[in-house]
Copies of this chain bind each other. A is one copy, B any other.
Amino acid sequence: MEEIRNYVQGLGHEARAASRVLARAESGLKNLALSRIAEAIERNRESLLRENRKDLEAGNQNQLESALMDRLELTDSRIRAMMDGLADIAALTDPVGEISNLVYRPSGIQVGRMRVPLGVIGIIYESRPNVTADAAALCLKSGNACILRGGSEAIHSNRAIAVCIKEGLAEAGLPESCVQVVETTDRAAVGELLRMNEYVDVIVPRGGKGLIERVSRESRIQVIKHLDGICHVFIDDRADLGKASEIAFNAKTQRYGTCNTMETLLVAEKVAQIVLHGLGTRFINHGVELRGCLKTRELVSQCGAASEEDWATEYLAPVLSIRIVAGLDDAIEHINHYGSAHTDTIVTEDYTRARRFLREVDSSSVMVNASTRFADGFEYGLGAEIGISTDKLHARGPVGLEGLTSLKFIVLGDGHIRT
C-alpha cells in the first residue's frame, strides 16, 4: 500500500514538473512530438501486436465477454486509426496562449484573457488500448501533462503504447513524463490518483456508468464526467412529418449503443396518429421494441407498456419509449424532468416554438430539426473529443481541446497603480 502510494505520488510529482514545460511549449514542438509518436507506433507495430496478444490470451483465460475482447484487440487497421488520430490532432489549431477580449479600461490598464492549459489531467478508462494514444495526444496538444490509468486487462498493450509515446516525446525534446501510464494493475493506484489534488488538476473518467460513478464518488479532484445519455426527439404538431420520421428513425437506429442515441420519442397529440402509424411499424420492422404511454398503445398495437422507470432509462439497446404529449410545454417539462441533460431535439417548422425549445431545454446539446446523433466532437468541429460532459460547470457537451484549457486574466499597464 505504502509502495503504491509512493509510486503514484512520484508520477504526480513528475507530471507537475512536466506540465510546466509543456505549458510553455510551442505548437510546432507539440506537433513534432505527435508525429514522432505516430512514427514510433509504426516502427513498433510488431511489439504492439505481440503485447496485445498477451492481453488477449489473459482475457481468454479469464473468460472476458466477447464485447470486451473485441474492444481489447489491436489490429493493423486499429493501429492505423491510432496513427491517423495523432495526425488529426496535430492538425488542429493550438488553443493555448490565445488572447481574447483585450480592451482598455477607464483606469488605462488593458484587460484580456489568455487561454491556458489546466495543468495535469488524470484519465481513468477501461479496456480500449487506443484510448491511451488518443487521450495522450489531446492532453499533449492542449499543453497538459497526463497520467493515464487504463483497464488492467489491457496492461501489456498500454505499456507498449506508452513506450512509443515516450520515444516520440524524447525525439521531440519534450520530457517523457508529459505522458505517464500507470504501470500497475493494483486498484489502490486509482484511489491514490483520485486523492492527489496537489498534483492533479482534473480527472476524466471514460467508460461505463459504474466506473464513472465510482470515480465521482471517490475523487477529491474535480471530475469532467459523462453520466447518462437519455436523449429525446420531440415531434411538434407543426413539424414537417417527413423530416420528423427520418430524424426520429435515425436518432434511434443509426447506432444503438451510443450516448447520443434517442431513448424516448415525444409526439404532440395532434399529429400522434399520423406520425406513429408509419413510424411505429418502421421501428418494429427494424427490430426495435416499443414501450409507450397509454395513448401510444391505443395507436400502436405492438407497443408494450412504459413504466415510470422507462422514462428515466438509457437503454443503449433497440428499445424505445414513446410518450404522447399535449404540446411544447409538456415536452419541455418531460425532458427537463426525466432527461439527463445530454442531447434533445425538436422537430418543428414553427419559429417561435423552435426558439423557445432552444432556450428552455436545459441540456448540453439542444437541436432543431436534426438527429441527436450529431452530438459529437467531430460533427461539431472540435476535431476530437476526450468525452462528452453532462456536467454544468466548466465544460458541457463534447469536450475537445478547448475543454482541456482554462482562461486566465492578463493585464497590461504602463506603471499603473490603484488609487
- Chain A residues within 8 Å of B, Cβ to Cβ: 20, 23-24, 97, 103, 105, 107, 109, 111, 114, 116, 118-119, 201-202, 222, 224, 240, 242-243, 246-247, 249-251, 254, 336, 345, 356, 358-360, 362-371, 373-375, 379-381, 391-394, 396-398, 406-419
Contacts and interface: CB of A to CB of B under 8 A. Distances in A.
Nearest to A368: B412
Contacts of A381: 103, 105, 111
A4 to B, nearest CB: 24
Contact of A373 (B345, B394, B409, B418): B418
A247 B419 CA distance: 11
A375 B24 contact: no
A378 to B, nearest CB: 10
Nearest to A118: B392
A418 B222 contact: no
A375 B409 CA distance: 9
Q: Oligomeric state, in number of copies?
A: 2
A209 B150 CA distance: 37
Given A107-B379, A370-B109, A406 B393 contact: yes
A371 B418 contact: yes
A409 B396 contact: yes
B359 A411 contact: no
A411 B367 contact: yes
A406 B411 contact: no
Contact of A412 (B201, B242, B367): B367
Given A97-B359, A119-B362, A240 B394 contact: no
A24 B329 CA distance: 13
8 contacts: A24-B360, A111-B381, A243-B415, A247-B417, A249-B417, A368-B412, A373-B417, A397-B409
Contacts of A380: 105, 111, 409
A396 B408 contact: yes
B414 A243 contact: yes
Contacts of A247: 415-417
Given A97-B359, A114-B358, A365 B411 contact: yes
A412 B336 contact: no
B396 A406 contact: yes
A345 B398 CA distance: 35
A114 B397 CA distance: 12
A25 to B, nearest CB: 10
Contacts of A97: 359
A66 B23 CA distance: 46
A416 B201 contact: no
A397 B408 contact: yes
Nearest to A371: B417
Nearest to A104: B381
Contacts of A362: 20, 23, 116, 119, 408
A413 B358 contact: no
Contact of A109 (B251, B379, B410, B419): B379
Contacts of A409: 364-366, 375, 380, 396-398
Contacts of A360: 23-24
A414 to B, nearest CB: 5
Contacts of A419: 254
B379 A418 contact: yes
Contacts of A336: 20
A366 B411 contact: yes
A119 B417 contact: no
Contacts of A224: 393
A100 B14 CA distance: 38
A369 to B, nearest CB: 4
Contacts of A202: 392-393
A409 B379 CA distance: 12
Contact of A368 (B242, B249, B413): B413
Contact of A407 (B105, B374, B396, B416): B396
**Which among A250, A364, A380 has the greatest number of chain B C-beta atoms within 10 A?**
A380
B111 A408 contact: no
